[in-house]
C-alpha cells in the first residue's frame, strides 16, 4: 500500500516523539513492502514563530492532500501566563480538527501487565481495565461563540450541540461497542445542561438501533470518580468535547503514564493521529520523552487503513519494550532509556 | 450561642444522614450549652411530589430566616432516563444556591491515617494529601441562558463570568491559602475558553494583594490527572463551577470514600452545609449510608460561627469512629456498622 502521511511534529517534545514514530513506520514499510511518503508541516508555536499563524495555509494544504496526519503536540509555557495572547498554538490544533471535520476522537486506555505495579492505582483496581473514550471533537464549548465584553469586565463562552453532531459520533461509538464488550456509557451533565439533555435523548434513541449494546448513563462528576473507583466497569465511554478532554487525561493514570495514550481523530476528511500528551516543554531536547504514545498513534493510523497485522506488529513491539523495561524515565525509575533508544528498539524488533 | 438551623434532608439517603448530623449537633449543644433550633423544609424530589416544585416558597422562607442550612442530598433515578423532565430535583439545589447568593463552595479533602489502606490509590501517593477546593457555585454554565431549539434539533448552554464573580471567590481562596500552606492553584481551560482567560487574568491580578501566596495555573485536563498522580502538590484549588463539580468528586477517591466529604457554601445570605455525595437511591432506607460527610458538614457549620472547639470535637469523634472501624460498608468490608450505629457512637463519644 502507498500512503501519503502528513507529519505535524509541532512544539516541545512533539518533534522527538514523531521522529521515533516515523522510524517505526519505516520499519513497517520495509517489512511489509508498503510505501509511506511523508510531508512535513508547521503547526503550533513553531508556526507562529515563522508565520504568526498556528495553522499556516501551507500546513492545511499538506494535510488535505495527505491520506493521514501524524501529529505531535502543541503548546508553549509562554502562553500560560499570558491568557490574552491573540494568537495561540492551541488554535492550530483546534482549527485543524474543525477544518478537517474530525468529529470523533478515539482514545483507548488499557493496562500492560508489566506496568500494573507502576500505576498510582492499586493493581487489583486496574487489572483488566480496557476502555475506549469516544470524545466529540468539533462541537460544544470548544467551538461556540465566545467574547470578552468591550469593558473587559465579563466574558462568555457558548456550548452548542445539534442532533447531527451527536448522532454521527454516537453511531461510531455504538458500532465500536458492538465489536467489543457491548457496553456503552454516556457521560454528561444532563441534570443541569440543556445540551446534555439533548445528548441523553438522542443517544437513548440511537441505542434502539443497537439492541445488543447495553447503554447506561453517568453524570460527569460521578464518572470522574468511577474511573478511579472501578475502571473495569467501562467498555466504551461516549461524551462531549470538554468532559472528554478532562476524563481522558484522568484515565491516563490507569495505564501508568500519559506517555502511553494514543488517539485517532476521524471524521469527514483526512484522519489525524496524535498522542494525547502535551508538548511537555520541560523535557524538550533532553531525549527523555516517552515516544510510545506517538508510536501507538502510528499503529492506530495503520488500523485506519485496515493494515491490522502491521498495527499489531507495532503493538507487540511496544509491549516487548515495556516487558523488557526498555522505557523512558516516566515508566522507569532505575535503568531508564532515552527516547531514541526506545524508538530504535521498537523499529529493530519489528524488522 | 443560639442558632436557628434549617434542615433540608431532601431525597434518597438525605434524611438518614441528616438525622445523624442532628444527633451529633444535639450532643454538642448539650455539652457546650448552646441552643440549636431546627426547622425542616422540603427540597428536591420530595418537594416535587408534594408541591410540584423542587424549592417551595416555604422552604426558601425557612432558609432565609435561619442562621445556617444543613442540606442532605437531592436526586432520583426516575429523572436519569427522562432528561426532558421539566421539573427536576436538582433545580431545587441550584435555585437555593442562586437565591441565597452562595457563590463559594468549599470542599476540603484530606486523608485519615487508618483509612490510607482503603483508598484505591497507593498509600505513599495519598499520605499527607490535604487540599481544599474552592468551587465557584452561582455562575458559569450552570446558570447561563440555555435553550432547546423549537425544532428540538439543537441545544445551547451559555457560560458567563464577570470580574465581580471571579474576584469575590478568588479573595476568599487567597485568604484561606494565606492561613494554610500558601499555595493556590487556579484550574481552568484558558487555552480554549474566553471565560477561563478572564479567570486567569483576574486571579493573577488579585494575587498581587497576597504576595505570600504562591499562585500557579493548571489546565483542567492536566489537573484531573495531577490529582491522582500527586495529590500532595495541592493546597488550595480555585476553579469555576463545572470544572469544580468534576474535580471535587474525583478528589473524593483520595480520602477513601465520597461518604467522607463535607462542604460549605457561603456567600451573601444564609450559609449552607452539605455532604458532597448524592442521594444514593439504592441505599435509601437500608441504614447503610455513611453519615460522616453530613456530620462533618455540621462541623463546618459550627466553624462558620467560630465554634472551633465544638467543630474540633466533632472531628475528633469522627476520627475515633474511623480508627475503631465503627464505619459503614463503604469503608468497612468485614464488620460494618449501620448509619444509626455510627451516628450514635459519635454523639455518645462527644457527650
Ligand atoms: C491542547 C488542547 C487545546 C487540547 C484540547 O483541549 O482538546 C488537548 O488538551 C487535547 O486533549 O487534545
Ligand atoms: C446535584 C447537582 C446539580 C450538583 C452539582 O452539579 O452542582 C452536585 O453534583 C454537586 O456537586 O453539588
pLDDT band per the 50, 70, 90 thresholds, residue A84: confident
Integer CA distances (angstroms), A160 to A165, A193, B149, B308, in order: 10, 11, 11, 47
Same domain, B129 and B249: yes
In this predicted structure, what is the pLDDT of residue A181?
98
Catalytic one of A189, A235, A280, A330 = A189
In this predicted structure, what is the pLDDT of residue B334?
86
Same domain, A156 and A62: no
CB neighbours of residue B62 within 10 Å: 22
Mutate to test the pocket of ligand 1, among A13, A106, A278 (most ligand atoms within 8 A of CB): A278
CA A301 to chain centre: 12
Q: Does the CB of B205 have a partner CB in chain A at under 8 Å?
A: no
Rounded to a whole number of angstroms, the distance from the CA of A144 to the nearest CA of chain B is: 9
Tell me which chain A residue has its CA closest to the CA of residue B126: A120
Q: Which residues contact A244 (CB under 8 A, 6 or more apart)?
A: A105, A107, A133, A134, A135, A136, A137, A187
In 3-state terms, what secondary structure has residue A35?
strand
| Domain CATH number, residue B136 | 3.40.718.10
Q: Let me know if A221 is a catalytic residue.
A: yes
In 3-state terms, what secondary structure has residue A338?
coil
Residues 230-289 of A with CB under 8 A from B: 242-243, 245-250, 252-253, 258, 278
pLDDT in tens, B23-64: 999 999 999 999 999 999 999 999 999 999 999 999 999 999
Kindly state the helix (H) or strand (E) to which residue B84 belongs, with its residue range. none
Q: Does the CB of A64 have a partner CB in chain B at under 8 Å?
A: no
Closest C-alpha to ligand 2, atom 6? B245
pLDDT band per the 50, 70, 90 thresholds, residue A267: very high
Q: What is the DSSP letter of A121?
A: B
- Contact assessment for residue A35 and residue A2, using Cβ atoms and an 8 Å cutoff: yes
pLDDT in tens, B266-306: 999 999 999 999 999 999 999 999 999 999 999 999 999 99
Q: How many domains is chain B built from?
A: 2
Using CB atoms, pick whichever of B122, B160, B250 lies closest to residue A228: B250
Same domain, B262 and B237: no
In this predicted structure, what is the pLDDT of residue B333?
84
Q: Which of A206, A234, A255 finishes a domain?
A: A255
Residue A114 lies in a domain: no
Instruction: Find where cell 511518503 sits.
Output: A37
Closest C-alpha to ligand 2, atom 9? B245
Asked whether residue B67 carries a pLDDT value surpassing 90, the answer given is: yes
In this predicted structure, what is the pLDDT of residue B317?
98
pLDDT in tens, A113-143: 999 998 999 999 999 999 999 999 999 999 9
pLDDT in tens, A278-316: 999 999 999 999 999 999 999 999 999 999 999 999 999
Residue B109 lies in a domain: no
In this predicted structure, what is the pLDDT of residue A239?
98
Select from A46, A256, A224, A9 the least CA-distant residue to B220.
A224
User: Which chain A residues are Cβ-neighbours of B147 within 8 angstroms?
Assistant: 194
- Cα three-residue angle A197-A199-A203, rounded to 5 degrees: 125
pLDDT band per the 50, 70, 90 thresholds, residue B83: confident
Residue B113 lies in a domain: no
In this predicted structure, what is the pLDDT of residue A325?
94
Using CB atoms, pick whichever of B153, B195, B249 lies closest to residue A221: B249
**The total number of residues written for chain A in this structure:** 351
Q: Let me know if A214 is a catalytic residue.
A: no
Q: Which of B255, B286, B303 finishes a domain?
A: B255
Same domain, B195 and B291: no
Q: In which domain, by residue range, is B247 found?
A: 120-255
Same domain, B186 and B248: yes
pTM for the model: 0.96
**From CA B149, how far away is CA B305, in angstroms rounded?**
47
pLDDT band per the 50, 70, 90 thresholds, residue A334: confident
In this structure, of B27-31, B191-195, B253-257, the range with the lowest mean pLDDT score is B253-257
In this predicted structure, what is the pLDDT of residue B80?
83
Residue B170 lies in a domain: yes
Same domain, A290 and A187: no
Same domain, A47 and A133: no
Same domain, A68 and A136: no
pLDDT band per the 50, 70, 90 thresholds, residue A272: very high
Same domain, A228 and A295: no
Q: Which of A255, A273, A308 finishes a domain?
A: A255
**From CA A303, how far away is CA A287, in angstroms rounded?**
28
User: How much of chain A, in percent, has pLDDT values that exceed 90?
Assistant: 95
Mutate to test the pocket of ligand 1, among A94, A136, A273 (most ligand atoms within 8 A of CB): A94
**Average pLDDT score over residue span B247-263:** 94
Q: How far is the CA of B171 from the centre of ligand 1 (A)?
A: 29
Catalytic one of A127, A130, A167, A249 = A249
Closest C-alpha to ligand 1, atom 6? A245
Same domain, A251 and A287: no
Amino acid at each position: 500500500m502507498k500512503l501519503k502521511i502528513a507529519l505535524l511534529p509541532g512544539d516541545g517534545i512533539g518533534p522527538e516523539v514523531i521522529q521515533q514514530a516515523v522510524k517505526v513506520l519505516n520499519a513497517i514499510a520495509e517489512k511489509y513492502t508498503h510505501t509511506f511518503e511523508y510531508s512535513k508541516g508547521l503547526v503550533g508555536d513553531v508556526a507562529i514563530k515563522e508565520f504568526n499563524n498556528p495553522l499556516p495555509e501551507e500546513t492545511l494544504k499538506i494535510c488535505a492532500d495527505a491520506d493521514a496526519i501524524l501529529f505531535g503536540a502543541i503548546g508553549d509555557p509562554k502562553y500560560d501566563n499570558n491568557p490574552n495572547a491573540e494568537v495561540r498554538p492551541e488554535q492550530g490544533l483546534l482549527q485543524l480538527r474543525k477544518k478537517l471535520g474530525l468529529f470523533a476522537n478515539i482514545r483507548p486506555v488499557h493496562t500492560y501487565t508489566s506496568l500494573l505495579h507502576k500505576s498510582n492505582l492499586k493493581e487489583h483496581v486496574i487489572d483488566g481495565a480496557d476502555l475506549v473514550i469516544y470524545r466529540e471533537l468539533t462541537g460544544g464549548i470548544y467551538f461556540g461563540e465566545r467574547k470578552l465584553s468591550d469593558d473587559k469586565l465579563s466574558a462568555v463562552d457558548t456550548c452548542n450541540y445539534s442532533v447531527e453532531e451527536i448522532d454521527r459520533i454516537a453511531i461510531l461509538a455504538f458500532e465500536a461497542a458492538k465489536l467489543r464488550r457491548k457496553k456503552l456509557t454516556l457521560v454528561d451533565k444532563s441534570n443541569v445542561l440543556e445540551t446534555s439533555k439533548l445528548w441523553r435523548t438522542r443517544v437513548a434513541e440511537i441505542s434502539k438501533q443497537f439492541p445488543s449494546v447495553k447503554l447506561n448513563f453517568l453524570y460527569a462528576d460521578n464518572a470522574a470518580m468511577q474511573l478511579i473507583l472501578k475502571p473495569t466497569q467501562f467498555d466504551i465511554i461516549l461524551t462531549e468535547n470538554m468532559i472528554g478532554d478532562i476524563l481522558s487525561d484522568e484515565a491516563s493514570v490507569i495505564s501508568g503514564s500519559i506517555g502511553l495514550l494514543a488517539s485517532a481523530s476521524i471524521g469527514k476528511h483526512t484522519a489525524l493521529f496524535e498522542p494525547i500528551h502535551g508538548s511537555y516543554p520541560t523535557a524538550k531536547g533532553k531525549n527523555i520523552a516517552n515516544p510510545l504514545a506517538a508510536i501507538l498513534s502510528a499503529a492506530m493510523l495503520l488500523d485506519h487503513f485496515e493494515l491490522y497485522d502491521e498495527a499489531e506488529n507495532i503493538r507487540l513491539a511496544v509491549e516487548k519494550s515495556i516487558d523488557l523495561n526498555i522505557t523512558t524515565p516516566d515508566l522507569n525509575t532505575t535503568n531508564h532509556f532515552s527516547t531514541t533508544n526506545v524508538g530504535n528498539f521498537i523499529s529493530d524488533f519489528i524488522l
